[in-house]
Structure 1
Amino acid sequence: MANQDWVTRLLSGRASADKGLNVHLSERDGGSLHDKMRQAYWWITNNAVICPYYDLEFGPSASLKTPAGEEVHLPEDTSYSSFVLIPLLTLFTCRRALLVGGPGRGKTTSAVLMALLSGMSRDEVHRGIQRGHPQLSIADLLGAPLPADMLKAEEMSAVKVSWRKWIGQRVKIIDEYNRIPTKTQSALLSLMAEGYAEMMDQYVYAGRSSWFLTANDDQGGGTFQVIEALKDRIDVVVRAVPFNSGFMDQLLQRLEADKSPEELLPKEIVFTPGELERAYASILEIEVPKEVLERIAFFLGQLDFCRRASPRFEFKHKDTLKLAGQTVAAVCNEQCPLDKKVHLCTQTENGVSVRAYQTILHFAKALAFFRGHSAVELEDFRQIAPWVLHEKLVPNTRSAFFEAKDHRLLLQDRVAWIRNMFDMAMARFDTHQPIRRKVSALRNELDKGLSGVDLRTTEKRIAAVTVLMNDLLTKQELSGPVYEDLIHLKSMYSRYRNYATWLKENPGGRP
């Protein structure tokens, strides 16, 4: 009876249990896929992980302040816990998440719950977990050729490899991945990046799947340094949170009942393979409005710019510095006239890859879908971007921006820092919009195609592009957004110039 009472309490909130321990989820959310996702989220938050840290906030909010200035935000809209929601979004987007935090914070438990939600059995999940340790070999990770075939085979293709079963699972869990030897990390990279592994001329394919990797910290504190290419393949970071002692009574109930939350996961929130595929497709169909996309681009496009990276205009970006073994900290000084308190380029040592752009859009779509919206809102992006960029952006700690007392604190929390950069960018967005609208108008004209455009019209368009470029160079400060516009305009100039050359060489011809 005591166990029965405990289960009833454990499954309270968004779910309840009858006397036969049959779980009944609230009908409040209806029956669609995103409603089922929300039901899964609330059950995990209230009953499994017990996470009272609601840090993904939406809507206007009031705030309470201490005399020293610390704020507690009280948003009017529903808030969510990143530690629960981001793994859930990873499950439905088939992406790769890194869960970081101290031992015993629930990282592996969270990953296991995601696997159980995908319909895997507890035995499948636990047998499939790959645990990093210094002796983990490629054979331990992927499998090995059969000894009998090795003795009999006259050629490589005759050797059959016994692949590990976890490779084909819908959810893959790599525990303490920073304790895996470097050579084995390379094999893991191939599987994550390319979706297949090769051994003895035999191949195995991972299929569409979600990855959950764990580490006790994200600062290289494991046994082995994680290779950069492997870190780059991680899409999003999830930070574990400490347990709130106000919920001590629930820990006591778990201990006395001798039951773990994963044993009591309601069947109603377990997804079938078909539901997972439909959710994946539905997320991709979520619209990203043009005005939201423009603001996202305005923020991300500034991060790569470095005015002093090169005298050559096309190479004024941070990749140039990296290839030369230089840092932004070494060149971002008083010789650069840009105001370090205003321009974002000074705050980062690097920009973001195309892969990161796509990942942010994918997670923003997933968050909008989870919230039951048909289109991405700017706040969806603002909330999710810091977690995607957490391991991808490196702060320039020597920037003059961080010399201010309040700004120095941002170096201790990358989520707060990245979100602050986003807010700084949005504060300047409207100021730059008149310029960007002119660039967009010229681009829209080009996007209509060049079929039927004569030489005279082409020359007029070249002149219009050149005039706007000259205005930007002479009347605007060469900042990140202006640099992006100039590169964009020069690409248009080159296309028109190449087309004009073709028309001159082929009078009367058709492109």
Structure 2
Amino acid sequence: MTDADAVPDSEPRSSSVSPLDIDEATALTTRIVDNVERVIVGHRDAIEHILITLFARGNLLLEDVPGVGKTMLARSVATSLDCSFNRVQFTPDLLPSDVTGVSVFNEKTREFEFQPGPVFANVVLGDEINRAPPKTQAALLEVMAEGQVTVDGETHPVPDPFTVIATQNDVEPGRTYELPVAEVDRFTKKIRLGYPTEAEETELLGRVAGEHPIESLGAVATVGDVRRARETVAGITVREPVRAYVSRLAGYTREHARLGASPRGAIALVRASQARAMFEGRGYVLPDDVKTEAPTVLSHRIRTDSAVDGGEIVERALEDVAVE
């Protein structure tokens, strides 16, 4: 039994995919955002953050209180993209193999066969990821960084495209585990949804009074569209002055915090800025794209020994570091 047989919907990762032109890609993102807004009220910026993360080949961490629509947002995006979607509810007794999969002995063939876990999908929602112990959380480290899972010495690629959207409960610290720094650093972005305004909540209640709109939501893009949009993002020009600006921002965080943004964080900022430029209909990155993306890309990677948090460090960096 081959890896391709064992892992449903898995396709080889290829650079032969032709990119969309900028106008097509911009129209695609607008179409997806508009479609998701049929379900999600008042969070257009959050929808854009998820799509930017997806097109930048990254993963996203959603931290907020329960009940504000984190799961519904992830599901709506996956449905709009006609992507495979799996949800993993993280609990204290969840095992790493419950996430990645396990090799099972087949009595008929007298061989071990890999049974893929829920991580084998285009969009994987890790719900309340900080409820599981660090060993189980670590099961995501390889797949988030490399797009593959290794079980019993055998490597299995996950479907392409692939992204993890993880939610984190921040109201029950006594019943949760802190995410390891290595895992946090693998999330391209960290965002919060927040509570809706009175008008937004009134609109939401009207939409769900009958059948929930998610039940009638259809796809407006294909997996192939996502792959092509990713190639478009990869081709967005990032000139040397912009790259140097990103490097200086990352350096500032390292000089003013116990733990600053890693090189992986700087790479994530460049890729997110490329995706932001595509959203704006441009084939090149401006410093303004970097400034827009820096708070959600860098803040969660920073650790300090004072009352000043990572978000404040990034704000100061954007104020103090000049664009040259």
- Cα distance in structure 2, aligned partners of 1:232 and 1:31: 32
Match of 1:90 in 2: 53
1:62-461 correspondence runs (5 A): 81-120=44-83, 125=85, 128-149=86-107, 153=110, 158-164=111-117, 166-208=118-160, 209-217=162-170, 223-260=176-213, 262-267=214-219, 270-304=220-254, 345=255, 347-397=256-306, 411=308, 414-415=310-311, 417-426=313-322
Task: For residues 48-82 of structure 1, give each alpha carbon's deviation from its aligned partner in whole angstroms, at most 9, with x where no partner exists.
Answer: 22116xxxxxxxxxxxxxxxxxxxxxxxxxxxx53
Task: For residues 125-146 of structure 1, give each alpha carbon's deviation from its aligned partner in whole angstroms, at most 9, with x where no partner exists.
Answer: 3xx2111011111332233333
Task: For residues 375-415 of structure 1, give each alpha carbon's deviation from its aligned partner in whole angstroms, at most 9, with x where no partner exists.
Answer: 111111001011111211123426xxxxxxxxxxxx47x44
Q: Which runs of 5+ in 1 are unaligned?
A: 1-29, 53-80, 305-344, 399-410, 431-511
Q: Which amino acid aligns with 2:259?
A: N
Give the stretch that moved more between structures: 351-360 or 251-260. 251-260
Are the aligned partners of 1:368 and 1:380 in contact in 2 as well (CA < 8 Å)?
yes
Are the aligned partners of 2:237 and 2:284 in contact in 1 as well (CA < 8 Å)?
yes
Task: For residues 429-473 of structure 1, give each alpha carbon's deviation from its aligned partner in whole angstroms, at most 9, with x where no partner exists.
Answer: 66xxxxxxxxxxxxxxxxxxxxxxxxxxxxxxxxxxxxxxxxxxx
Task: For residues 184-228 of structure 1, give each alpha carbon's deviation from its aligned partner in whole angstroms, at most 9, with x where no partner exists.
Answer: 222222332333323334432224311111112299665223223
Q: Which amino acid aligns with 2:114?
A: V
Are the aligned partners of 2:130 and 2:178 in contact in 1 as well (CA < 8 Å)?
yes
Distance 1:241 1:182, change over 3 A: same
Q: What is the Cα-based RMSD across aligned positions, in Å?
A: 2.7
Distance 1:279 1:422, change over 3 A: same
Match of 1:475 in 2: none
- Cα distance in structure 2, aligned partners of 1:417 and 1:220: 24
Q: Which amino acid aligns with 1:50?
A: V
User: Equivalent residue of 2:301, what SS?
Assistant: coil
Distance 1:259 1:302, change over 3 A: closer
- Cα distance in structure 2, aligned partners of 1:211 and 1:88: 12
Distance 1:397 1:416, change over 3 A: closer
Identity between Structure 1 and Structure 2 (%): 23
- Cα distance in structure 1, aligned partners of 2:35 and 2:239: 32
- Cα distance in structure 2, aligned partners of 1:109 and 1:90: 17
Are the aligned partners of 1:159 and 1:200 in contact in 2 as well (CA < 8 Å)?
no
Structure exhibiting the larger radius of gyration computed from Cα positions: 1
Are the aligned partners of 2:62 and 2:167 in contact in 1 as well (CA < 8 Å)?
yes
Q: TM-score, normalised by structure 1?
A: 0.54
Q: Which amino acid aligns with 1:223?
A: T
Task: For residues 403-428 of structure 1, give each alpha carbon's deviation from its aligned partner in whole angstroms, at most 9, with x where no partner exists.
Answer: xxxxxxxx47x4455133211212xx
Distance 1:86 1:351, change over 3 A: same
Q: Which amino acid aligns with 2:282?
A: H
- Cα distance in structure 1, aligned partners of 2:205 and 2:131: 33
Distance 1:221 1:423, change over 3 A: farther
Q: Which amino acid aligns with 1:293?
A: R
- Cα distance in structure 2, aligned partners of 1:352 and 1:247: 35
Q: CA deviation at 1:266?
A: 4.6
Are the aligned partners of 2:41 and 2:204 in contact in 1 as well (CA < 8 Å)?
no
How many pairs does the alignment contain?
Answer: 302
Q: Which amino acid aligns with 2:127?
A: D
Give the stretch that moved more between structures: 359-368 or 171-180. 171-180
Are the aligned partners of 2:246 and 2:266 in contact in 1 as well (CA < 8 Å)?
no
- Cα distance in structure 2, aligned partners of 1:136 and 1:355: 28
Q: CA deviation at 1:295?
A: 2.6
User: Equivalent residue of 1:134, what SS?
Assistant: coil
Q: CA deviation at 1:176?
A: 0.9
- Cα distance in structure 2, aligned partners of 1:298 and 1:104: 39
Name whichever structure is richer in helix by fraction: 1
Relative contact order, higher structure (CA 8 A, sep 6+) = 2
